Amino acid sequence: MGQKRQMDRQERTLSQRDLNRREFLRTSGLGAATLIIGGTGLGTGGCGVGTLPNSSGSLVLPAQPDSPRGLAVALEVVLRATNSDTPVLTGPSTRTSTYQATVLTGEVGDASALPGSYLGPIIRARKGQRVRVRLINELSEATIIHWHGMHVPADMDGHPRYAIEPGEEYVYEFEILDRAGTYWFHPHPHRRTGPQVYSGLAGLFLVSDDEESAAGLPSGEYDVPLIIQDRQFDANNQLVYGAGIVGFDGFLGDRVLVNGQPSFNLDVATRSYRLRLLNGSNSRVYKLAWDDGTPLQVVATDGGLLETPIQRDYVMLAPGERIELWADFSAYALGSEIVLRSLPFSGGDIGMGGMMSGMMGGMMGGIGGALLPNGAELEVLRVRVETEAEATQDLPPRLSSIVRYRAEDAVNGTSPRVFAASSAMMMGWRLNGRTFEMDAVAANEIVNLNTLEMWELVNATGHMEMMHPLHIHGVQFQIMERSVLPSRAAGWETVRYGYVDEGWKDTLLLMPGERAKILLRFVDFSGAYLYHCHNLEHEDQGMMRNYLVQA
């Protein structure tokens, strides 16, 4: 009986939903040629809601719920994903892809270009505002945008099943529920996220709120976003990506670009700055430190401000992660230079013997081949102290308040849900032995709305571990604890003091042999979200799964 009623309800929801969408299409004045996808093509080919196991032990996903509507739209932006030619190096320009933004409603500065860059734009909005973004696909392949770190309805989250074909449009509309922070957006079509991000599709979504305004951090020109990405160019200045370059490690370039620019220099005044760092690289992990030994003052992580600043000698920054630094250049003489470097660390390679690893590299297209392997030392950002500032701002002792989740409040605090990185010989990385399935979840991937859960993320199968930055869509979580296999402790020691686990996180680096317990709460929205490795090549190879929030 339960099942039949569920089916009826689902059918109603689907047709009601289609009506809503047609209505929306009319009232938002889109032409007949415009297509709004979402809610169609769902995996409802079976029947029933999360009850039919398929051959691999997974369950078919139900339809997505509708997003709530009501609040007036404060910001409406058109983002055209399009191919472009950009001068990046001296000589021939580089074929890139980019998002071109037009603000329809709101202030022009609400979607501003990243100066001199094919990356971007930077979208700025305030908590509580309603935002509409129209993605128009002018690429030659399917795409979709995901708002990394943001808490939006499932059908607004950029799941690959909503990918749109060239010429089509996807209209996002959501209220900003997240606290102030450095969020970002990038493509999420299955198997093509890596190449699309690599070609230049990535932007920042900076959310502000009252708590942040009250914190007293440097703002305006003293608040600087820095997107760090490694790239490789051929003799003709074209980006290199593909077979032979993408190995077991994913893609590792031979040079670092900041904000899409090679040899990026940040010219500063003798005062304090807020530096918002995003690791937008496909696979490279950085261990960041100032070259003069000045400790880093960390003020924010993925999900916004920490409670108080935290001092570190170095910080780890894995693909997808953000970290914000308060950096004070007031004591430096004019003309001095300070360099943010990535320091060497170990454990970035597969935990196998050298011979085995070399063999594997050959077969997978070259792990040993990277000119600059993960863990190699490199220069990331050169800061030049150029002008005298009249005043500076002190580091605020208190930044925000964070409500701590408690393990005893979790519905499964004594038996966390385990998600383990695993690999199938020569067939890529998996999660709990499963590869990505567009329309399915496994029984252990269904959680209940309005519950706090404990998850244990594991990268310790005992062989062939490598770094995996694991990312969960739709939530910000809190990290409770980490541990490592004794056999991999030596590598871990070279990175562990650079973790900043005190704040809100959506991406967590797991080194070889490492495991972590996290607490996360599912609120507001039911539907299917993703969790995956944010090494984009691992993700594209299937190290991604759905999880279902069930009302």
Binding site for Cu ion (CB under 5 A): 148, 468, 473, 533, 535, 538
By a kind-dependent CB cut-off of 5 to 8 A, residue 61 interacts, out of ligand C2O, Cu ion, none, with none
Q: Which is nearer to ligand C2O, 126 or 146 (CB)?
A: 146
The helix/strand/coil state of 211 is helix
Among 217, 530, 543, 548, binds ligand C2O (CB under 6 A): 530
What's the min distance (Å) between Cβ of 202 and ligand C2O?
A: 9
Residue 538 lies near ligand C2O (rule: CB under 6 A): no
Cα–Cα separations (whole angstroms), residue 303 to 197, 476, 477, 506 = 21, 6, 9, 7
Residue 545 lies near ligand C2O (rule: CB under 6 A): no
Cα atoms in the 13 Å half-sphere on the side-chain side of 366: 14
Q: Which is nearer to ligand C2O, 287 or 532 (CB)?
A: 532
Q: Which is nearer to ligand C2O, 147 or 233 (CB)?
A: 147
What's the min distance (Å) between Cβ of 392 and Cu ion?
A: 35
The residue at minimum Cβ distance from ligand C2O is 148
Q: Which is nearer to ligand C2O, 200 or 320 (CB)?
A: 320
By a kind-dependent CB cut-off of 5 to 8 A, residue 468 interacts, out of ligand C2O, Cu ion, none, with Cu ion
DSSP letter (8 states) at residue 114: P
Q: Which is nearer to ligand C2O, 473 or 488 (CB)?
A: 473
d(CA 197, CA 282): 8
By a kind-dependent CB cut-off of 5 to 8 A, residue 517 interacts, out of ligand C2O, Cu ion, none, with none
What HEC string does 434-485 produce? ECCCCCEEEHHHEEECCEEEEEEEEECCCCCCCCEEEEECCCCEEEEEEEEC
Q: Which residue, among 376, 425, 383, 31, has the nearest Cα to 226 in the 3D structure? A: 383
What's the min distance (Å) between Cβ of 436 and Cu ion?
A: 13
What's the min distance (Å) between Cβ of 484 and ligand C2O?
A: 25
Q: How many residues bind ligand C2O (CB under 6 A)?
A: 10
Instruction: List alpha helices for 28-114, DSSP H.
Output: none
Residue 146 lies near ligand C2O (rule: CB under 6 A): yes
What's the min distance (Å) between Cβ of 201 and ligand C2O?
A: 12
Find the helix or strand (DSSP H, E) in which 540 lies: helix 536-540
Q: Which is nearer to ligand C2O, 494 or 541 (CB)?
A: 541
The helix/strand/coil state of 339 is strand
Q: Which residue, among 419, 535, 546, 374, has the nearest Cα to 469 in the 3D structure? A: 535
Cα–Cα separations (whole angstroms), residue 250 to 184, 242, 316, 346 = 21, 10, 18, 17
Contact assessment for residue 232 and residue 253, using Cβ atoms and an 8 Å cutoff: yes
Among 473, 482, 488, 515, binds ligand C2O (CB under 6 A): 473
Q: Which is nearer to ligand C2O, 341 or 473 (CB)?
A: 473
What's the min distance (Å) between Cβ of 518 and Cu ion?
A: 15
Residue 186 lies near ligand C2O (rule: CB under 6 A): yes
d(CA 390, CA 271): 8
Q: Which residues bind ligand C2O (CB under 6 A)?
A: 146, 148, 186, 188, 320, 471, 473, 530, 532, 534
